[in-house]
Amino acid sequence: MKMEISEASRIVHEIENAVLTAFVGQPSVVQLGLIGLFGGLHVLIEDIPGLGKTTLALAMARAAGLGFSRIQCTPDLLPADVLGLSVWDANQHAFVFRGGPILAHFVLADELNRASPRTQSAFLQAMQEGSVTVDGNTLPLPEPFFMVATQNPHNFVGTFPLPEAELDRFGLSFSIGYPSTEDEETILIRNETARPVMAVKTVADPETIQQIRIMVQSVHVAPAVRQYIMEIVRSTRTQADIRLGASPRSGVYLQQASKARALYEGRSFVLPEDVEALARPVLAHRLVLASQSRMAGKDAVALVGELVSRIRKPTGL
């Protein structure tokens, strides 16, 4: 039976409410995570340790009913530790493939920028193509497949900067930040006697998540809204403060994220406000600022906000 937009939106909000029973913080953070999940856009969260990145990921996986796998990235982590490898089976007298933790519906790559560049590259095919290649054999990943990666700030000890090609594969990037006084008190109360994340209610399953992802594809984008997306993306390539502007892939991701936000809101069409709200988390992490801008302390998120504010939003849709 075909699911309606209203029913899909209801399920998304049920997942959101389940996540918020464990994760304490800005609801907008959970919303961005869900837009990534249902838009098929992998998420990168940059923050200091202890702010709830792992809690958010695990709560989302449990609420969505997805098999969860956590990869703790360290400098000595090898690609085989992520993808799996073939081992000799004495009983079968043959090499047998043992899949790695990447072969899960929901993968958390914790502290991704602590892994070496060689190991970081093991994630690229999975993120872009939904498959992995081991010993010359290409294996599809489970559907739906979704990855949340966390990274420490660049000035932390033992980190390897993520290359631009890898950053470009993440659909959304954001930070959680320190909690408010009220939220921090709530965290203390909730964690006094138990781990709230282990009690998160499961409200969906992989088939439902995949069905909603397919529905996101059918959300309508008017030509004027598509033109608005193009103008925002292209404006990053002519800004003097930006040395490397957003790629065409970023425009595809911004459109996809806007569709997911529209479904989240219970709409079958994208509004310019969807695009405006998501321009920063979709575009900022892809930009490489000019050296003079970095020296002046300018921020990519703020620059994207300035560019968006200069572009006229379409009306009369």
- Could you tell me which residues come within 8 angstroms of residue 87 by beta carbon, excluding any fewer than 6 positions away? 95, 96, 98
Residue 165's contacts (CB-CB under 8 Å, 6 or more residues apart) are 124
Residue type present at position 162: L
**pLDDT score of 206 more than 60:** yes
Where in the chain do CATH 3.40.50.300 domains reside? 1-212
In the predicted structure, residue 95 carries a pLDDT above the cut 80: no
Q: What is the average per-residue pLDDT within 261-280?
A: 96
Question: Minimum mean pLDDT among 19-33, 141-155, 252-266: which range?
Answer: 141-155
C-beta separation of 161 from 167 below 8 A: no
d(CA 126, CA 131): 5
Cβ–Cβ under 8 Å, residues 277 and 261? yes
Amino acid at 300: A
Identity of the highest mean pLDDT range in 28-42, 45-59, 107-121: 28-42
Q: Which CATH number fits domain 219-317: 3.40.190.10, 1.10.8.80, 1.10.10.10, 3.30.1360.120?
A: 1.10.8.80
Residue 208 is predicted with a pLDDT of 96
CATH 1.10.8.80 residue ranges in the chain? 219-317
The one-character DSSP state at 143 is S
Instruction: Please give the CATH superfamily to which domain 1-212 belongs.
Output: P-loop containing nucleotide triphosphate hydrolases (3.40.50.300)
Report d(CA 285, CA 67) in Å as an integer. 28
pLDDT at 8: 94
Residue 298 three-state SS: coil
Q: What residues does 44 pair with on adjacent strands? A: 149, 173
pLDDT tens-digit readout, 132-145: 888 778 889 999 99
